[in-house]
Amino acid sequence: MPHDFYISTTDWLFGMLALLAILFYGVAVFHSNRQSRLRKWPRRRIVLWVAGVLASASAVVGPLAELSHDFFTWHMAGHLLLGMHGPLLLALAAPMTLLLRTLPVRQARKVSHLLKSPLAGFYTHPITASILNIGGLWLLYTTGLFAAMHHHLWLHVLIHMHVFVAGYLFTISLLYIDPVSRRYSYRFRTVVFIAALAGHGILSKFLYAYPPAGVPIEQARAGAMLMYYGGDAVDLVLIILLFRNWYHSAKRQQTHIPSTTDGYVYSNETTQNAPAG
pLDDT at 123: 95
pLDDT at 258: 53
Annotate 202-226 with b (16+ C-beta within 10 A) or e (fewer). ebbeebbeebbeebeeebbbbbbbb
Q: Give the per-residue SS3 of the chain.
A: CCHHHHHHHHHHHHHHHHHHHHHHHHHHHHHHHCCCCCCCCCHHHHHHHHHHHHHHHHCCCCHHHHHHCCCHHHHHHHHHHHHHHHHHHHHHCCHHHHHHHHCCHHHHHHHHHHHCCHHHHHHCCHHHHHHHHHHHHHHHHHCCHHHHCCCCHHHHHHHHHHHHHHHHHHHHHHCCCCCCCCCCCHHHHHHHHHHHHHHHHHHHHHHHHCCCCCCCHHHHHHHHHHHHHHHHHHHHHHHHHHHHHHHHHHHHHHCCCCCCCCCCCCCHHHHHHCCCC
Predicted TM-score (pTM) of the model is 0.87
**Within 10 Å of residue 181's Cβ, how many Cβ atoms?**
18
Question: What are the structural domain ranges in the chain?
Answer: 3-258
Phi/psi zone of residue 143: left (φ > 0), alpha (ψ -120 to 50 degrees), beta?
beta
Distance CA 190, CA 193 (A): 5
pLDDT at 266: 39
Please report, rounded to a whole number, the percentage of residues in the chain having pLDDT higher than 70.
Answer: 90
Mean pLDDT by 10 residues, the chain (277 residues): 62 90 96 88 96 95 87 94 97 96 91 91 96 96 91 90 97 93 93 96 95 92 96 94 90 65 40 44
Distance CA 268, CA 179 (A): 12
